[in-house]
Structure 1
Amino acid sequence: MELEVRHLRALCAIADAGSLHRAARQLGVAQPTLSTQLSRIEQALGGALFVRERTGCRPTPLGRTVLGRARPLLADMSTLVLEARAAAAGGDSRLRVGSTASRALAGWLRRLRRPGLEPTLQMDVSANALLRRVAEGQLDVAFVHEVEGSALHVPEGLRLRVLLEREPQFVMLPADHPAAGRPVVRLADLADDRWMIDPTVDGEWDGVHRMLRAVGLNPRVLHGDYHTAASLVATGEVVTVCQPSSQSRPDLAVRRLYGDPLGVRLLLAARTLSGLDAVFPALEEAYWEVARQSTAYREWLEGAGIRALPRCPVTAPATGRVKFVPAR
């Protein structure tokens, strides 16, 4: 058996996901198929690459060696594809990127930009709309979030890669709010507040409503976008859920919610696995960069044992490749 790019991609997916089940889901194959493929790769290389445990898989010393060589090879292959497409297009190729709101966008686009390749951006509050545009060929990739309890409608044929299985949503409240003096806020502390929710964001209203109803709250709700929400939070009019990478300001505070009652899954979608490989490393690096900048989120990550905060990551110059994995 000769190793192919798809075999290296499968090994990296297993290492990144930490389990065969999650890796198979990301790769779009059945778990038994991936397990059989892994066994054949291990036979070809002459040793076990992963230790199978009840909680998942972790690389063996041989596995770490193989992964250390596989990642740069995949990164180089992704760069080759992008540069070849740029050359075929006369030296100026457009990478059409779609995304829901994220503080990682600026860093992602900066990392994707290189001679002969210029990313364009299309924002939309609807993750489902962005996925449809990828499936229809109007976008090359889309970075979206899926509110738990409100599954996205993924068109047939799309490939997905999970950036984060569950990103906890935090709360943004006025800096002089009584609850702002604590690092963790209980929903009961916000029982008398008005909430602002953007009902046009897929799953947002349902997710927040379920979260509040679960603790017996039925607060007054204003509908509006989250740029407006931040302004109203600062003046003491409302509180709102927010991404954990949001940063506190002198007039507003970003705090963790007790028990992490609301989460989203962060996904990258493309029509091909090579399309995912070409842009995922840059997105991953950009995301953890903004995560480090948020004190509240950084503390949550460290408390959860997620090693997302290396000070000097080793990055492949051609692609901006950097890999952060949960601590196990």
Structure 2
Amino acid sequence: MELEVRHLRALCAIADTGSLHKAARQLGMSQPSLTTQLRRIELEIGGQLFARERTGCRPTPLGRLALSRARPLVSEMRALVNETKAAAARVSESPQLRIGSTASRAIPGWLRRLRLRLPGTETSLQMDVSANALLRMVAGGQLDVAFVHEVEGSPLRLPEGLRRRVLVEREPQFIFLPADHPAAAQPVVHLTDLAADRWMVDPTVDGEWDGLLRVLRAAGLNPRVLHGDYLTASSLVATGEVVTVCQPTSRARPDMAVRPLHGDPLGVRLLVAARTEGELDAVYGDLEAAYWEAARQAPVYGEWLAGRATAA
């Protein structure tokens, strides 16, 4: 027999009432059943927990020790149940918006705008490196909307029935490199300037490795490549170990520079998907505003955009 919360609750009831009869009534069970349960508990523990006297039940020293541990656990369980019920009631009463997204610096501004515009809506966020996985979750009803990026040359598999809206037709991918790298002295980096560097890429991001490989081969490069997540990649860039592709909304740090690649050889398409046009309408405007806010806050991307506007 393993002790369960109901057993601990029984011990507390006996101690609080000082009577097996009163405790059984409080627990909604018969006295013989409670007596049998107490005997099994004592057998499991290996000692008597209550002394049966004419005036009722009094905890033994072993019983007091058991109660000192049981009471906090019972209290915590009661609080857990109450808080969970309250949370469930809030969720059932409030509209819900379940968002999925690949990594983007637009997310904080997007969620902030949604919270201000939809104050009564419970908004949840699920991040995933796989855009295809997020799209499948939308199609399966686990998410309401997904904001994802599609690597150029590696089209996503959009499930049947989903609606999509393109936020940015082609977002150029920039490069993260150490601040003291010789190429960082230039406003634009040529891939050939990085021929001797090790690269780092996250192969779990849909299309990322294939897209980068195509670009490197087109430039005649075959560099050493490490596989890992982009948080680790940033740490390694800062220490001069690798260079890595980054989103243009990324910001430089004292030990890391962000630069465009000459000719913008690698791009992604940013899109948002949902099951209905109404669901897209509900989130698209806030996402669009948040993205361009993030773009304005990234100086290198801002210069790149200004240059394209002037050229046009």
Fold equivalence (TM over 0.5): yes
TM-score of the two chains, using structure 2 as the length reference: 0.69
Look up the match of 1:76. none
Instruction: Quote the Cα distance in structure 1 between the aligned partners of 2:254 and 2:160.
Output: 46
Look up the match of 1:143. 147
Give the structure with higher Rg (CA).
2
Instruction: Quote the Cα distance in structure 2 between the aligned partners of 1:242 and 1:115.
Output: 33
Structure 2 residue matching 1:142: 3-state secondary structure: strand
Structure 2 residue matching 1:304: 3-state secondary structure: helix
Is 2:292 aligned against 1:288?
Answer: yes
1:96-245 counterparts in 2 under 5 A?
96-113=98-115, 114-245=118-249
Instruction: Quote the Cα distance in structure 1 between the aligned partners of 2:123 and 2:284.
Output: 14
1:172-209 per-residue CA deviation (whole Å, 9 max, x = no partner) reads: 00000000011100000000000000000000000000
TM-score of the two chains, using structure 1 as the length reference: 0.66
Instruction: Quote the Cα distance in structure 1 between the aligned partners of 2:236 and 2:291.
Output: 27
1:48-63 counterparts in 2 under 5 A?
none
Instruction: Quote the Cα distance in structure 2 between the aligned partners of 1:175 and 1:195.
Output: 16
Instruction: Quote the Cα distance in structure 2 between the aligned partners of 1:115 and 1:246.
Output: 29
* Structure 1 vs Structure 2 CA RMSD: 1.6
Instruction: Quote the Cα distance in structure 2 between the aligned partners of 1:293 and 1:186.
Output: 24
Instruction: Quote the Cα distance in structure 2 between the aligned partners of 1:115 and 1:181.
Output: 47
Instruction: Quote the Cα distance in structure 2 between the aligned partners of 1:262 and 1:186.
Output: 12
Alpha-carbon offset, residue 93 of structure 1: 1.6
Instruction: Quote the Cα distance in structure 2 between the aligned partners of 1:255 and 1:299.
Output: 11
Instruction: Quote the Cα distance in structure 2 between the aligned partners of 1:261 and 1:115.
Output: 42
Instruction: Quote the Cα distance in structure 2 between the aligned partners of 1:155 and 1:286.
Output: 26
Amino acid at match of 1:107: G
- Structure 1 gaps of 5+ residues are 1-88, 307-326
Look up the match of 2:46. none
Structure 2 residue matching 1:278: 3-state secondary structure: helix
Look up the match of 1:78. none
Amino acid at match of 1:301: L
Q: Which has the higher helix share?
A: 2
Look up the match of 2:281. 277
Instruction: Quote the Cα distance in structure 1 between the aligned partners of 2:227 and 2:255.
Output: 21
Alpha-carbon offset, residue 115 of structure 1: 2.1
Instruction: Quote the Cα distance in structure 1 between the aligned partners of 2:141 and 2:93.
Output: 21
Structure 2 residue matching 1:139: 3-state secondary structure: coil
- Structure 2 gaps of 5+ residues are 1-90
Instruction: Quote the Cα distance in structure 1 between the aligned partners of 2:306 and 2:179.
Output: 24
Amino acid at match of 1:112: L
Which one of 261, 266, 282 corresponds to residue 262 of structure 1? 266
